[in-house]
Structure 1
Amino acid sequence: MDKHTHKKDPRFKIAEKEAWIGIGLVLFNFVWWFGFAYGMGSGPVEKYKYILGLPAWFFYSCVAGFIIMIVLVIIVVKFFFKDVSFDEETEGGTSAE
């Protein structure tokens, strides 16, 4: 495949869109984690609230954040990602060997 073929191949457009979605999920995860970990966890230990025996900042940033990310990834993969063939197709519509 030459360097200009990827501009015509629709798989690259799909892969780029899915990569941007992945980057968005990573950024969301980082902002969620950072916000709870440093937002709630920066106070004095004596004032911490606890959920299931864990500090609230840890529970929300790590436990709840993990569960939310699992749900988001499942939703994104199920509804936004497409199944793409890895076989190269020639102009005749058959795969190249």
Structure 2
Amino acid sequence: MKQHDKMPEDDPRYRVANREALLGVGLVIINFILWYGFAYGIGSKPVEEYSYIWGLPAWFFYSCIIGTVIIISLVILAVVFLFKEVPFDEEGDE
């Protein structure tokens, strides 16, 4: 069977791409859960009861500042340890 006659499902690059896409979706879901949990968990109190960190409401600080740092760290770890380099040319199937 020639290389170009193979079905896309037979190509291991598709399995790698699907796995990495699912990892990306998982990171987005984690990001949303962190953001929503901090923003609406801590931020649902009356404004008079807010606590502040560095002049920012605590809900904003944890949701947008700390949440961003956590997600960036998780993305870096995922890229370094979970993602694989895949050749784009058709001769690269190994």
Calculate the TM-score normalised by the size of structure 2.
Answer: 0.90
Q: Distance in 2 between matches of 1:31 and 1:65?
A: 10
| Cα root mean square deviation, aligned | 1.8
> Where does residue 51 of structure 1 map in the other structure?
53
Q: Distance in 1 between matches of 2:51 and 2:33?
A: 21
Q: Tell me the CA shift for residue 12 of structure 1.
A: 0.2
Q: Distance in 2 between matches of 1:90 and 1:68?
A: 35
Alignment map for 1:52-91 (pairs within 5 Å): 52-89=54-91
Q: Distance in 2 between matches of 1:57 and 1:90?
A: 48
Instruction: Specify which structure has the bigger relative contact order, considering alpha-carbon pairs within 8 angstroms and separated by 6 or more residues.
Output: 2
Q: Tell me the CA shift for residue 7 of structure 1.
A: 1.2
Q: Which has the higher helix share?
A: 2
Q: Distance in 1 between matches of 2:8 and 2:22?
A: 18
After TM superposition, the runs of 4+ consecutive aligned structure 1 residues lying more than 4 A away are none
One-letter code aligned to 2:86: V
Classify the secondary structure of the residue corresponding to 2:87.
coil
Gaps of 5+ in 2: none
